[in-house]
């Protein structure tokens, strides 16, 4: 077979006057349905099969670049070298866009799991990979992942991949390059941080508003859309508190419906944008946005930003 590679996983979309670029850091192909905290595997498989997906699922890992003409913002920063050969593509994608890491002004972290934060720091040297960025993160994320008692109660893998990696990644920025928060607030002009805890103690979504348009970057509100919109109560083995995560998920999904928010999801199949609609009682429908050749349907735009 002739060797090939896919086109770079970069997709641009305007939200009002703001250019949002989806960047796919990679994907994880799971070999079991046990990643979901629900023993009814027939139900889980049915949700996936009804949508034409593989069983077990393949899960995308996305980050989002936001450029408003003043700031260059990353929402999450990829997995670095911790997630294996199918991941870790974010640095190359930024190079392909001509964006120097030093030009990133802010990193908005949804949480400190490795596929979201492991691109902050070079673990071999402790060097900041975004030397001029201010990192925004919920205080509870720092409190939890730097808590020795919480670490002591974790599995060996959790100690290494979550606690140790989180400390390595965030540590160099704690010298004054971290902005901590604990409540819903305007993190940056036009961007609101919305805590949605449960998946992790400080898990946070971010809502961008510009010229009457609105988009939510919802982090790990949903990992497997086909399943967790059909049954929002289904948690993941990665959750710190699956019950609290389910409450947050339902609240965010309902907000997406009521405010007709465009969703940018870290684990929505690339290019990662969708709308949420009500489904049968207690459920929701996932409507992935079609691919547009221009950055916004019906609008041309210069990408020179």
Number of DSSP helices (H) and strands (E) in the chain, helices first: 9, 18
**Which CATH superfamily hosts domain 10-288?**
Ribonuclease Z/Hydroxyacylglutathione hydrolase-like (3.60.15.10)
Question: pLDDT digit string (tens) for 164-178?
Answer: 999 999 999 999 999
Q: How far apart are CA 35 and CA 89, in angstroms?
A: 24
Q: How far apart are CA 47 and CA 53, in angstroms?
A: 9
pTM of the predicted model as reported, rounded to 2 decimal places = 0.95
Q: What are phi and psi of 21, to 5 degrees?
A: -120, 120
Q: What per-residue confidence (pLDDT) applies to 303?
A: 44
Kindly write down the DSSP assignment for every residue of 103-123, as one continuous string. G--EEE-S--SHHHHTTSEET
Q: What per-residue confidence (pLDDT) applies to 117?
A: 98
Q: What per-residue confidence (pLDDT) applies to 280?
A: 87
Tell me which DSSP letter residue 101 carries: G
Q: What per-residue confidence (pLDDT) applies to 298?
A: 53
Q: Which residues of the chain have pLDDT under 70?
A: 1, 3, 297-305
Give the distance from CA 2 to its chain's centroid: 34
């Amino acid at each position: 077979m002739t060797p090939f590679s896919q086109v770079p996983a970069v997709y641009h979309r305007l939200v009002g006057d703001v250019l949002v670029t989806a960047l796919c850091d990679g994907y994880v192909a799971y070999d079991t349905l046990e990643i979901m905290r629900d023993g009814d595997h027939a139900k889980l498989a049915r949700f996936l099969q009804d949508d034409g997906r593989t069983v077990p699922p393949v899960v995308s890992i996305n980050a989002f670049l936001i450029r408003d003409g003043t700031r260059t913002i990353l929402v999450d920063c990829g997995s670095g070298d911790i997630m294996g050969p199918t991941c870790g593509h974010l640095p190359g994608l930024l190079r392909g866009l001509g964006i120097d890491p030093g030009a990133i002004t802010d990193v908005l972290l949804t949480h400190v799991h490795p596929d979201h934060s492991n691109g902050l720091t070079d673990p071999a040297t402790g060097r900041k990979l975004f030397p001029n960025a201010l990192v925004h993160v919920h205080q509870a994320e720092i409190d939890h992942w730097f808590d020795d008692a919480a670490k002591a109660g974790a599995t060996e893998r959790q100690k290494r991949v979550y606690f140790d990696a989180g400390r390595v990644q965030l540590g160099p920025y704690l010298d004054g390059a971290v902005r901590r928060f604990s409540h819903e607030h305007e993190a940056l002009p036009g961007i609101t941080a919305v805590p949605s805890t449960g998946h992790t103690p400080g898990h946070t979504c971010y809502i961008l508003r510009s010229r009457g348009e609105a988009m939510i970057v919802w982090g790990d509100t949903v990992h497997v859309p086909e399943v967790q919109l059909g049954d929002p109560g289904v948690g993941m083995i990665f959750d710190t508190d699956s019950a609290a995560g389910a409450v947050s998920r339902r609240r965010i999904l309902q907000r997406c419906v009521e405010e007709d928010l465009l969703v940018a999801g870290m684990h929505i199949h690339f290019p990662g944008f969708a709308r949420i609609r009500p489904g049968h009682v207690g459920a929701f429908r996932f409507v992935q946005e079609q691919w547009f050749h221009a950055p916004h349907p019906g609008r041309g735009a210069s990408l020179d930003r």
